[in-house]
Structure 1
Amino acid sequence: MRYLPLTTDDRAQMLAAIGAKSVDELFKDVPEAARLDGLIDLPRRQGEMEVERQLAAMAGKNIPAGQVPFFVGAGAYKHHIPATVDHLIQRSEFLTSYTPYQPEITQGTLQYLFEFQTQVSMLTGMEVANASMYDGSTACGEAVLMAHRVTKRKKAVLSGNLHPHYQDVVANLSDFGSYKLVTEPPCPKGTEGLAGEIDEETSCVVVQNPDIFGHVRDLSALAEAAHAKGALMIVVVPEIVSLGLITPPGEMGADIVVGEGQSLGNGLNFGGPYVGLFAAKQKFVRQMPGRLCGETVDAEGKRGFVLTLSTREQHIRREKATSNICTNSGLCCLAFTIHLSLLGEEGYTRLARINHANAVKLADALGAVPGVNVLNEAFFNEFTIETPKPGAEVIDALVEKGVLGGVPLSRLMPGNDEMKNLIAVASTEVNSDQDRAAYARALKEVLA
């Protein structure tokens, strides 16, 4: 009973209280194909050393990102993180037992969140940013809900070139909120007719830049089309380093900008935890989800920081809450802020230029391989190649040759025949000339 304190009678009373006949009924919304029909094939019990050995053996089947030439992106990017970042995030000034409700004892936490917000506002070209979200996809979902609140409309138009995982999060939230969702089909060549889908019922149009295929676009005309119909434009930036070169979404007319901040200060970490970025125009600030930290002065005139806005149900009446986000990615956005501070404006721009230059070199090298076609005209550090063989097969064959060559887009968009031979390839500052040469050589051998 140490680990399972509830008795059969306890469970029966709880099920009766919520109107469920059995524990299994609680999982009825989970597809049957996704449920286990028995115990996982693992030993029922082992000592600590035996467990460590077995887990180490299982982990050993993975290929670490830093062990071979690595060109995987599609929303999570391998960048160099200075050792200083890990050292500084552990300093006691930044530690707090929980969340910054008591400004008198959490000034370090509040100050870095304030600086983080300032950085995100400057990068995105927006007027205000919050103190972070869980990740880019949940930030995107919250942005759509925010647009519905602002416009009092219930229809969202999603670009087909928006990352499928982001689309799934928006679809999930829209389903539970009974909102209408129009999703355009993906366009590998980068030409979409999004403006034609916007009407007087549309609350927002959601577009990604660079998109899932790596295309970089000027979104100004789309913003004008949205605003002409009274709708908002939400721009998703999955690779925040790109804003070191690309025009900020705010300067192209965006009303809300969301993104993934993992590229700065945060490793791949097997998919998380990451840090969601959320920025908007000042006039929408009271409809923003999450928290907002502000600067003030105390009774003695000394500079201080406070939790200015916290619009979740724990703090205000439930019907007035803008979201149920219960925390921010505090440690991750601290790492983001420290990394960006170490780079400075000049270093950030230089980092972006190196990323782009590396990607251009790689695109040229892969494009020279017989049978390979690079689809992009304009891109940042990621592009899409078309191969004469199925992308998933090509990637598996490249792994056998010691190269992690990217993400087969058929994996992200299963069932779409147009994606069968397409691979998203990313190249950051960590890739060397030797890495690029190894990829081109391996790809040529695989396609021979």
Structure 2
Amino acid sequence: MRYLPLTDTDRTAMLEAVGAPSIDALFADVPSDLYLNGPVEGLPLHATEMAVEKHMRRLSKKNLAAADAPFFIGAGAYRHHVPASVDHLIQRGEFLTAYTPYQPEIAQGTLQMLFEFQSQVARLYGCAVANASMYDGSTACWEAVAMASRVTRKKRVVLSGALHPHYAEVVRTMAKFTEDEIAGSAPSLTALPDDDGLITRIDDNTASVVVQYPDILGRIPDLQKIADAAHAKGAKLIVVNTEPVALGALEAPGNLGADIVVGEGQALGVGLQFGGPYLGLFAITDPKLVRQMPGRLCGETVDADGKRGFVLTLSTREQHIRREKATSNICTNSGLCALAFSIHMTLLGAKGITGLAAENHRLACIAADRLAKVPGVTVLNENFFNEFTLMLDVDARQIVRDLADKGVLGGVGLGKLFPDIDGLKGGLLVTVTETASLEDIETLATTLEEVLP
């Protein structure tokens, strides 16, 4: 029997209280074509448990898994080798059951882990303070925008055209509720980022400038130049990083003038996971602004006997304080994913992350040089880390499908990321990590030669 504690009278009273005529009205923002109006296609209405298992296995075999093919997909979700010890440790009972403690002072091990995680993120980002994580990179990006608007008391947000479009869309969606003015633009297909074009859009009313590093086309913007221009207008520079391994080779954003650094931590320890859960990272360079940070912050202290201990130092979210004083409505941190990130970072160490980054860049350079020899292919980038853009004379989305039909996961077509911009349809974003072998790179090149018209 289903547990349904609310009566029709209860529901009616609740709808009247919020001013909604029906339950369906609560979902008015969801497009009607996304509603599920019947049974899920391809699934039997009635079947035994064993029959359902067999059916689902047959369906799963239609997928081409990342580990079963040469894999060059990135665009914000990256395949790196995750040591087996990561999964072994995060599944220990003392971590698995206490990843988001509601009596935090009892879970000293979890608090210590989060404290170490914050220290790792702060060092990676070149920042003074990092929080205990957020949901994912895109929501962390919005939280940074909201924080900058609170601090500067301005409402205009300048988005780089080379910001991941999913991140930009989250910012636009949330800004509808805060009345922030979002000034976006289309990415320019140039060998180097259009830093000067971005700078010309910064004015005295600008609260924040949001730049991705490396950007969605794999290029590396001049953060110091952009930071100086933003600060001259009283704006905060928000730097978004979707590939944390890149910071093993590139200068940390906090050392280049960034005020807030956010990103996606999935690449370290978490894995692709069919799209989630992922891990949002958030850090600031000015510790004076710590009370404006969203989410949780763990700190180190001593107990009554003078022994080292850990506490939840700040929780500026609406679950802990009055809603009107909360800096965020995010109600937890991604604790288990943060643990996986922290374990992987610990296993790598400073030399390990640098070595991993060097190997990624080495393989990416080999791939770019090889693919540039394919007739009809031009490498756009003048600089990149492990991700670069190929320019084709045809729609890259069809080429991606043709490659997949031949057992190669060859990248992401820019037409998929920017479907409304015709000029980007010939762009193919290719990512090369340490999981790609030289044989995989050659397979991509030869197969690309086969499928290009």
Give TM-score scaled by structure 1 length.
0.97
SS of 2:311's equivalent in the other structure is strand
Deviates more, 1:52-61 or 1:385-394: 52-61
Amino acid of the structure 2 residue aligned with 1:264: L
Task: Quote the offset at 1:118 in angstroms.
Answer: 0.3
Q: Deviations over 1:52-91 (max 9, x none)?
A: 2222222221111000000000000000000111111123
One of 302, 308, 329 as aligned partner of 2:334: 329
One of 411, 414, 420 as aligned partner of 2:419: 414
Q: Does the C-alpha gap of structure 1 residues 47 and 7 become closer, same or farther in structure 2, counting only changes over 3 Å? A: farther
Do structure 1's residue 2 and structure 2's residue 2 form an aligned pair?
Answer: yes
Residue in 1 that maps onto 2:209? 205
Q: Does the C-alpha gap of structure 1 residues 375 and 100 become closer, same or farther in structure 2, counting only changes over 3 Å? A: same
SS of 1:307's equivalent in the other structure is strand
Contact (CA 8 Å) 2:214, 2:221: kept in 1 or not?
yes
Residue in 2 that maps onto 1:401? 406
Measure the CA separation in 2 of the matches of 1:71 and 1:243: 20
Measure the CA separation in 1 of the matches of 2:345 and 2:2: 47
Do structure 1's residue 160 and structure 2's residue 161 form an aligned pair?
Answer: yes
Give TM-score scaled by structure 2 length.
0.95
Measure the CA separation in 2 of the matches of 1:188 and 1:336: 33
Do structure 1's residue 30 and structure 2's residue 27 form an aligned pair?
Answer: no
Do structure 1's residue 300 and structure 2's residue 301 form an aligned pair?
Answer: no
Contact (CA 8 Å) 2:265, 2:278: kept in 1 or not?
yes
Measure the CA separation in 2 of the matches of 1:85 and 1:97: 17
Measure the CA separation in 1 of the matches of 2:91 and 2:28: 43
Q: Does the C-alpha gap of structure 1 residues 96 and 402 become closer, same or farther in structure 2, counting only changes over 3 Å? A: closer
Q: Does the C-alpha gap of structure 1 residues 218 and 98 become closer, same or farther in structure 2, counting only changes over 3 Å? A: closer
Measure the CA separation in 1 of the matches of 2:3 and 2:303: 48
Gaps (5+ residues) in structure 2? none
Do structure 1's residue 145 and structure 2's residue 149 form an aligned pair?
Answer: no
Residue in 1 that maps onto 2:95? 94
Task: Quote the offset at 1:415 in angstroms.
Answer: 1.7
Contact (CA 8 Å) 1:144, 1:204: kept in 2 or not?
yes
Contact (CA 8 Å) 2:98, 2:107: kept in 1 or not?
no
Task: Quote the offset at 1:43 in angstroms.
Answer: 2.8
Contact (CA 8 Å) 1:96, 1:106: kept in 2 or not?
no
Deviates more, 1:281-290 or 1:42-51: 42-51
Do structure 1's residue 248 and structure 2's residue 249 form an aligned pair?
Answer: no
Amino acid of the structure 2 residue aligned with 1:24: D
The residue correspondences of 1:47-446 to structure 2 (distance < 5 A) are: 47-97=48-98, 99-189=100-190, 190-192=193-195, 193-281=197-285, 282-446=287-451
Measure the CA separation in 1 of the matches of 2:172 and 2:85: 39
Contact (CA 8 Å) 1:69, 1:438: kept in 2 or not?
yes
Task: Quote the offset at 1:19 in angstroms.
Answer: 3.2
Task: Quote the offset at 1:37 in angstroms.
Answer: 4.0
Residue in 2 that maps onto 1:20? 20
Task: Quote the offset at 1:178 in angstroms.
Answer: 1.1
Q: Deviations over 1:166-201 (max 9, x none)?
A: 001111111111111100221121224111111111
CA RMSD of aligned residues (A): 1.6
Measure the CA separation in 2 of the matches of 1:8 and 1:99: 34
Measure the CA separation in 2 of the matches of 1:25 and 1:93: 43
Task: Quote the offset at 1:31 in angstroms.
Answer: 2.0
SS of 2:66's equivalent in the other structure is coil
Q: Deviations over 1:3-52 (max 9, x none)?
A: 66655555444434433333332222222233344443333332222222
Measure the CA separation in 1 of the matches of 2:22 and 2:145: 36
Amino acid of the structure 2 residue aligned with 1:403: V
Identity score, percent: 60
Measure the CA separation in 1 of the matches of 2:359 and 2:224: 26
Deviates more, 1:365-374 or 1:194-203: 194-203
Deviates more, 1:151-160 or 1:94-103: 94-103
Q: Deviations over 1:379-414 (max 9, x none)?
A: 000000011221011111111111000000100111
Contact (CA 8 Å) 2:125, 2:253: kept in 1 or not?
yes
Contact (CA 8 Å) 2:64, 2:407: kept in 1 or not?
no
- Structure 1 stretches of at least 4 aligned residues deviating more than 6 Å after TM superposition: none
User: What is the number of equivalent residue pairs in this alignment?
Assistant: 448
SS of 2:327's equivalent in the other structure is coil
Measure the CA separation in 2 of the matches of 1:384 and 1:425: 6
Q: Deviations over 1:246-304 (max 9, x none)?
A: 01101110000001111110110111111110000212111000000001111111111
Measure the CA separation in 2 of the matches of 1:295 and 1:325: 23
Contact (CA 8 Å) 2:118, 2:132: kept in 1 or not?
yes
